[in-house]
A and B are shown apart, each in its own frame.
Chain A
Amino acid sequence: MELSGDDIFTQFLKDEGVEYIFGYPGGAVLHIYDALFRQDAVKHILVRHEQGATHAADGYARSTGKPGVVLVTSGPGATNAVTGIATAYLDSIPLVVITGQVTSAFIGSDAFQEVDSVGITRPCVKHNFLVKDVKDLAITLKKAFYVATTGRPGPVVVDIPKDITDPHIKIPYEYPESLELRSYKPVVEVQAPQIETAVDALLSAKRPMIYSGGGSVLSNASNELRTFTRQLGYPITQTLMGLGAYPDPDPLNVGMLGMHGTYEANMAMHDCDVLFAVGARFDDRVTGDLEQFCPNAKVIHIDIDPASISKNVHVDIPIIGDVKQVLVELSNAIIASKREPDAKALKNWWKQIKEWSSKDCLRYDRNSALIKPQFVVEKLYEVTGGDAFITSDVGQHQMFAAQFYKFDEPRRWINSGGLGTMGFGLPAAIGTQLGNPDATVACVTGEASIQMCIQELATAFQYSTPIKVINLNNRYMGMVRQWQEFFYESRYSQSYVEALPDFVKLAEAYGHVGIRIEKPEDVEGALKEAFAMKDRLVFMDFITDQKENVYPMIAAGKGHHEMHERELA
């Protein structure tokens, strides 16, 4: 088949099985847009800002496990995409981002809409490419998909100068079925001796703790994690990125850990003698003060990325490999060992954990006359039967969603954990809904975050994605205000948002349904009403308690045992 570069591009995406491409046109990609016009295998989703394209593709990727694909123009198109690329990078999400570039001959001349996209994105991609010859286009795209989706996943940028997609230059095209990269070998053999050492440490534990992260989700290891954890009967805590891989509620699940984790999870981390870290990366929001992190624990760490091992915390027993495969091998090795966990020690350990749990650290004032954000999330959980995809933004609302919506399946909780990108939630919800057309999708957001990508309400209208936006409107950048209350003697410098829009009217202006809810007794009814509107986006503006805080809280730089707790009358 003889094709020109623009048609190679679309034909390749079709052959690669790409369903959606999220994008925004411009000069450098006009040949490609013309090619998109000529076909209907790949559906293009027109966003309203390139940041929205990357987050939508990201939401699609997180919720489906398939790579998200983005197409933007050169210069400002590429720079607008950078926030979303960095967001995906920090959470190891597979994206392929195609940026148009000025014509090859103009590169380096400060041409119109020229930026060094490869240079700008280099620190926040897994890899990037500049296509220099149309003959390399198909194979480069293949490499991009391969690198993005294998090993530790991540975003890959392919920068394509305009002349590469010239419709007049035809070359033979064949879909590259397979690929070998001598410099990139994502598949690793699990070292058998490491498995044995780990099993011995696990079964010798008196106070074991399983700490599971986003890697368990990315590796689709949910079933294996459940089998392994239940086989041992050990307590498990999950990171913000890992929620849902192990179900919640569940007797072995002690909740999320870290800065806003549960008292029992953090105390158990602090006191454990064997820490089994699986697909987690010891992020500072999880570990708190490294000096005081798990002071008495032998650390076992499974990760596909060798560079994650002993990066922040010294690991005693590293196991490099795919989480899913390693968990299977560990489960089998435990059975083969014919050994059992130390039942007596475990009983005492659980007794201690139950004692910590009895503090009921997530308690809040249920008799308040104001709408408590926690209450809204609890009702959201009930009304959706715990069966929704929940995307989120960044702030208190994000933590309330993580604490109070109980995820019993992986890939249901979709948030920017690593970069903490406000503006992520709405476009991510659009991508999630497109990838899961029959599912219920809600975006739990705040009045500040939602405004960072509010323009995507138009995208949601155009593609009829019936998302439910749960705006926990506290008229504050709540998380900023909370830090100012705790650490800056309540000097609320620039954290109050004056002149908020009327979100109900705003939603209506975009063609959606808007509802404002001001009383606790109206919360449940409004949610039911909104979720009954199966084919409409409903923007629910909950006017919540302005001064509510997220508890428990470990201040930055403190140890797991140094939590702030809520004081209730």
Chain B
Amino acid sequence: MQHIISLLMENESGALSRVAGLFSARGYNIESLTVAPTEDETLSRMTIVTSGSNEIIEQINKQLDKLIDVVKLIDITANGDHIERELMLIKVQADSSEKREEVKRQADIFKGRILDVTDTTYIIELTGEGSKLDGFIKAMDKKDILETVRSGATGITRGETCLKL
């Protein structure tokens, strides 16, 4: 099953490679990985989307926690109620009035925003769970998709539980 694991780690230069190295050395899946600074400049927050059996997910959590640079960790999926978001920018061919109409209509349905328009292309911004972004890609005509870029998922638990020091 897919899990989102969030960690707070020391903002040290080698920290990211320790995590990436752990996943490759132990043969764990890594679907996406994002890192960014937090309001505390000594910490960065990483979100990893991974998948595996319950045993493997348990090992991944423990092995991550064992890394000296990892200060705190939470398995957002195992924790229950949470919000997951991913950002996608997608550039599509829009070189005829029918296409422009159709892309615009789909973008509205998916609550996307058109960020850039040229004579032949549109760039649309979409946020949501990964499955929603997948859905939008499916709704587009494959040969019209010129480029996609996705941020990888981030997540946060609902309610009082927090990943905080």
Contacts and interface: CB of A to CB of B under 8 A. Distances in A.
Interface of A: 118-119, 122-123, 126-128, 130, 147, 181-184, 305-307, 309-311, 314
B97 to A, nearest CB: 53
A187 to B, nearest CB: 15
Interface string B1-33: 000000001100110011001000100000000
B58 A127 contact: no
B66 A305 contact: yes
B55 A183 contact: no
Nearest to B9: A183
B10 A183 contact: yes
Contacts of A122: 14, 17-18, 21
Contacts of A119: 17
A139 to B, nearest CB: 14
Contacts of A184: 68
B125 interface: no
Contact of B68 (A118, A147, A309, A314): A147
B14 A306 contact: no
A306 B64 CA distance: 11
A306 B65 contact: yes
Interface of B: 9-10, 13-14, 17-18, 21, 25, 55, 58-59, 62-63, 65-66, 68-71, 165
B76 to A, nearest CB: 20
Contacts of B70: 183
A126 B22 CA distance: 12
B25 A118 contact: no
A310 B55 contact: yes
B59 A307 contact: yes
30 contacts: A119-B17, A122-B17, A122-B21, A123-B21, A123-B25, A126-B68, A127-B68, A128-B14, A130-B13, A130-B14, A147-B68, A182-B71, A183-B9, A183-B10, A183-B68, A183-B69, A183-B71, A184-B68, A306-B65, A306-B66, A307-B59, A307-B62, A307-B65, A307-B66, A309-B62, A310-B55, A310-B58, A310-B59, A311-B59, A314-B55
Nearest to B63: A307
> Which of B17, B68, B70 gathers most chain A CB within 10 Å?
B68
> Which of A126, A307, A309 gathers most chain B CB within 10 Å?
A307
Contacts of B17: 119, 122
Given A122-B21, A123-B25, A307-B62, A181 B14 contact: no
A118 B66 CA distance: 18
A118 B14 contact: yes
A181 B68 contact: yes
Contacts of A126: 68
Given A183-B68, A307-B63, 7 more contacts: A119-B17, A122-B18, A126-B68, A184-B68, A307-B59, A307-B65, A307-B66
Nearest to A184: B68
A164 to B, nearest CB: 16
B70 to A, nearest CB: 6
A182 B25 CA distance: 26
A184 B65 CA distance: 9
B154 to A, nearest CB: 21
A2 B14 CA distance: 30
B144 to A, nearest CB: 42
> Which of A122, A126, A127, A183 gathers most chain B CB within 10 Å?
A183
Nearest to B62: A307
For the complex of A and B, the 10 pairs showing the least CB-CB separation, nearest first, are A307-B62, A183-B71, A127-B68, A306-B62, A184-B68, A123-B25, A307-B66, A307-B63, A122-B21, A182-B71
A127 B13 CA distance: 13
Nearest to A183: B71
B117 to A, nearest CB: 42
B28 to A, nearest CB: 13
Contacts of B71: 182-183
Contacts of A181: 68
Nearest to B165: A182
A563 to B, nearest CB: 29
A122 to B, nearest CB: 6
A525 to B, nearest CB: 51
Contacts of B10: 183
A119 B9 CA distance: 18
Contacts of A306: 62, 65-66
Contacts of B59: 307, 310-311
Contacts of B18: 122
Contacts of A147: 68
Contacts of B14: 118, 122, 128, 130
Contacts of B21: 122-123
A496 to B, nearest CB: 35
Nearest to B68: A127
A449 to B, nearest CB: 27
Contacts of A309: 62
B72 to A, nearest CB: 8
A128 B69 CA distance: 10
A512 B108 CA distance: 87
Contacts of A305: 66
B35 to A, nearest CB: 16
Nearest to A128: B14
A373 to B, nearest CB: 37
A249 B20 CA distance: 47
B5 to A, nearest CB: 15
B64 to A, nearest CB: 9
Contacts of B58: 310
A127 B65 CA distance: 13
> Which of B21, B63, B66 gathers most chain A CB within 10 Å?
B66
> Which of B9, B21, B62, B65 gathers most chain A CB within 10 Å?
B62
B50 to A, nearest CB: 16
A181 B70 CA distance: 11
A257 to B, nearest CB: 24
Contacts of A123: 21, 25
A449 B115 CA distance: 67
A259 B58 CA distance: 28
B7 to A, nearest CB: 10
Nearest to A308: B62
B21 to A, nearest CB: 6
A305 B17 CA distance: 22
B63 to A, nearest CB: 5
B110 to A, nearest CB: 40
A45 B71 CA distance: 38
